[in-house]
Amino acid sequence: MWCALEVVYMSGDIAKNLPTQAKQFQQIDKNWARIMSIANETKLVKNTTQNDIIMTQLPDLERGLIECQKALDS
């Protein structure tokens, strides 16, 4: 979902028409990049998924992506 929405929300037109969701997506994007950085440093999926910070952030990121998708759909 992030891959599909990144292309859309990083373009200027959508950001102008949906500024609140664009700002929300930018925060999601920043948090996703941080998670991927931690995963890259950890090197092991099992250890990465046992990280409490990541496990608490992923459901929130998913909810945010769903909100961004719904705004785009409407």
Tell me, what's the pLDDT at 13?
Answer: 82
CA dist., res. 8 & res. 38, Å (int): 26
Count: domains in the chain = 1
Residues whose CB falls within 8 Å of the CB of residue 54, separated by 6 or more in sequence, listed in order: 35, 38, 39, 48
Residue 64 reports pLDDT greater than 90 = yes
Domain hosting 32: range is 2-73
Residue type, 35: I
Residue 12 reports pLDDT greater than 80 = no
CA dist., res. 19 & res. 42, Å (int): 35
CA dist., res. 20 & res. 49, Å (int): 30
